[in-house]
Structure 1
C-alpha cells in the first residue's frame, strides 16, 4: 500500500524544492556512484593493494632520508595513492617534458617473469635535485629547456641510488635485483607496454619547504599479479609474528649502523661558561688570562649537537690537548 503524505510533509517538500535542497541531495547521491568498466575488471583486491602500500611505506621512508640529504633540508615522502588503470590512461596523462627512469625488475626465482618498471619524475624536481647537488640555493629553479649532458649524468646517479633503495625495500619480502636501464625525457614517446595493458600506479608525494610534487611508479599488473599473493602471505606472516629471523635482524642492524656511521655530528668540550663585560672583551689581547669558576681537575661537559651528553676530564696525549670521557649524562 502506498504511503499517503500529510499536508505538513507536502509543504516541507515544496519548500525544500524551492530552496534547492532536494537537487543538492540528489547531486550528493550521484557523486557517491563510481563508474566501473566491466570490460576491464579489477585484478587486485583492496587487501592486496594494501600489502603493496605497506611495502612502499618503507620505501617512502628511505626516500625521505635520501632526498633530505640531497636537498639539504627536511623532505617528506609519503604514499598518495595506489590504483590500477590502463597504460594508455597513464601515458596520455604524462607531459611532454618529464623524467622517466626505466628500471629492470628481475626476480631471483625462476617462477616469476622479468619485468620493467617506469619511475616518472617531474622536470622541476629534476632541476631542483641538480641545483642542490651543484651547491645551489633553496629557490626552485625550473628553466624551459632540455637537460645538458652533465645534468643527465647527475640525474643518472640519483636514479641509480633510488633504484638501489627500491631493491632494498622489495628484498625484505621478495628476492630480486633491480637496475636502471635508461632515462627518457619525453613521456609521450614511451611505448614500454601495450596501450591496453593494465598497470598499477603508485604515487608518492614529495613535500619540501620550497617544493611539492609527485613521483609515479608504473608496474604491469600481469607481473605483479604473479607475486602479489606470495608477497601478501609473507607480509601477513611477518606482521603477525614479531619474532624475526636473528640472521636477518643482524644484517638489518648492521645496515642501519652503517648509515649512522656516515653521519656527521658536532662534538664540543665546554670548559666553563662565564660572563664578561663587553668592554673587557674588547680589551682582550694575546696571553691574557681568563679566570674560570672551575678547577683544572674537575669534570667538564661534552656536548653532542648542542646537547650535554658526557662528562669528561681534561688531559694530554702526545703533546696534544685531549679529554677522557668519564660518565654518560643521557641514559
Structure 2
C-alpha cells in the first residue's frame, strides 16, 4: 500500500527541494532502486485502516452506551472512552493480560467465534464495592474473587449485552450471550496463538477508580462482515431513503406528548419566624417588578418572556419573546 503524505509533509518536502537541502535527482534514483520492507508474518495486518476506523466508531458508540448503563446501575460518576484500536496476534494479547483479572467470554450469534472482554481488577472491585453499597472504592485482593463476587459481576455484565447489540446494529444483527467467566488468561485456548485479533481498549473511570476494559475480537468472528466495515458501506447506509411512515408516526407521538407549562408571578424568601407570624390579610412582597415581563417555564426550563392578562375571562399570558441561552448554548 502506497503511503499518502499529508499537506504539511508535502509543503515541507517542496520547501526542502527549493532550498537545496534535498536533491530531486537523488530522490528519483532512490525511487527506482528496489526497496526491501521487513514483514513479520506473526503480525499479519489483516484489517485496513478504514476497517479499523469503522471498528473504532462502533466501539465509541458502545462506550457511550456502557457509560449510560453503568451510571444508571451504580448512581455514580462513570466515564468510558475508546483509547486505542490495534490488531495484534492473540498470543500478544494473552501476554498483556494480568495473571489475575476478570475475563468475560461472549458468544456472538450468528457470527462464529467468541469475543473476550477483559476488565482490569481495579474496575471490577470498584463495581463490586458500588453494587454492595459502597462508594466505589477499589480494594484489590491478590487471592482472587469469591464465588459470590463472581456471580454479582456475571449478572452485571450479562446485562451489558443489550448495549453491545445496539452498538453493532449498524453493521450486523448480533445476539451476544455471556458464555463463561474466567480469572486466569492461560485457560483461554480459543484460537491459534498467531491468529490476528482486534483489541479495543476502553479507558474506564467509575467513581474514584480508574482502569482499562479491553475487548478482544478474533479475525474469524469479523470475517463474514468485513465488507460492511468499509467507508463505502457506511456512506451507502447513511444515504438510505427516509421511512416516511415511521417519520409521520414519530411526529404524531411528539405532538401528543404532554408538557408542564407554568408562569411564575414572582418569588421571595422569608424566615421561619416570619412564616409563623403570618396572619389574615398580611401582604408578602415578591421580588418581581410589576413592569417587568414574567418567565414562561416549560418542564422547569424558562423558554419565553410573557405578560399576564385575561382571555375570555380566564387568567392568561401573552408571549413577548423567546428566552435564548441555557442548554441551547451548549449544543
TM-score range, shorter chain: 0.5 to 0.7
Distance 2:221 2:108 in 1: 10
Q: Does 1:135 align with 2:126?
A: no
Q: Does 1:291 align with 2:284?
A: yes
Which of 94, 97, 102 is matched with 1:94 structurally?
97
Match of 1:66 in 2: 69
Query: So what's the TM-score if we normalise by structure 2?
Result: 0.66
Match of 1:53 in 2: 56
* DSSP-derived class of the 2:276 partner: coil
CA 156–274 in structure 1, closer or farther in 2 if over 3 Å, else same: same
How many angstroms does 1:248 deviate by? 10
How many angstroms does 1:176 deviate by? 2.1
How many angstroms does 1:116 deviate by? 0.6
Which of 243, 246, 254 is matched with 1:246 structurally?
243
**Would you say the 8 A contact 2:171–2:228 is kept in 1?**
no
* DSSP-derived class of the 1:136 partner: coil
CA 272–226 in structure 1, closer or farther in 2 if over 3 Å, else same: same
* DSSP-derived class of the 1:100 partner: strand
CA 188–245 in structure 1, closer or farther in 2 if over 3 Å, else same: farther
Distance 2:129 2:45 in 1: 41
Q: Does 1:75 align with 2:78?
A: yes
Q: Does 1:167 align with 2:165?
A: yes
Query: So what's the TM-score if we normalise by structure 1?
Result: 0.66
1:202-240 residue CA offsets vs partner (Å, 9 max, x unmatched): 11111355232111111111231331113424323224x
**Would you say the 8 A contact 1:205–1:213 is kept in 2?**
yes
CA 330–58 in structure 1, closer or farther in 2 if over 3 Å, else same: farther
CA 39–285 in structure 1, closer or farther in 2 if over 3 Å, else same: closer
* DSSP-derived class of the 2:117 partner: strand
Distance 2:268 2:49 in 1: 64
**Would you say the 8 A contact 1:85–1:200 is kept in 2?**
yes
**Would you say the 8 A contact 1:200–1:219 is kept in 2?**
yes
How many angstroms does 1:102 deviate by? 0.7
Q: Which runs of 5+ in 1 are unaligned?
A: 1-33, 108-112, 262-266, 313-323
Aligned CA-pair RMSD: 4.0
How many angstroms does 1:55 deviate by? 1.5
Match of 1:44 in 2: 47
Match of 2:26 in 1: none
CA 308–134 in structure 1, closer or farther in 2 if over 3 Å, else same: farther
How many angstroms does 1:98 deviate by? 0.8
CA 97–275 in structure 1, closer or farther in 2 if over 3 Å, else same: same
**Would you say the 8 A contact 1:310–1:325 is kept in 2?**
no
Match of 2:312 in 1: none
Distance 1:147 1:247 in 2: 52
Q: Does 1:206 align with 2:186?
A: no
CA 245–301 in structure 1, closer or farther in 2 if over 3 Å, else same: closer
How many angstroms does 1:53 deviate by? 1.3
1:81-123 residue CA offsets vs partner (Å, 9 max, x unmatched): 111111111112211211111111113xxxxx52210011011
* DSSP-derived class of the 2:114 partner: strand
* DSSP-derived class of the 2:54 partner: helix
**Would you say the 8 A contact 2:42–2:89 is kept in 1?**
no
**Would you say the 8 A contact 2:305–2:323 is kept in 1?**
no
Q: Which moved more, 1:68-77 or 1:214-223?
A: 68-77
**Would you say the 8 A contact 2:135–2:207 is kept in 1?**
no
**Would you say the 8 A contact 1:238–1:244 is kept in 2?**
no
Match of 2:13 in 1: none
How many angstroms does 1:184 deviate by? 1.2
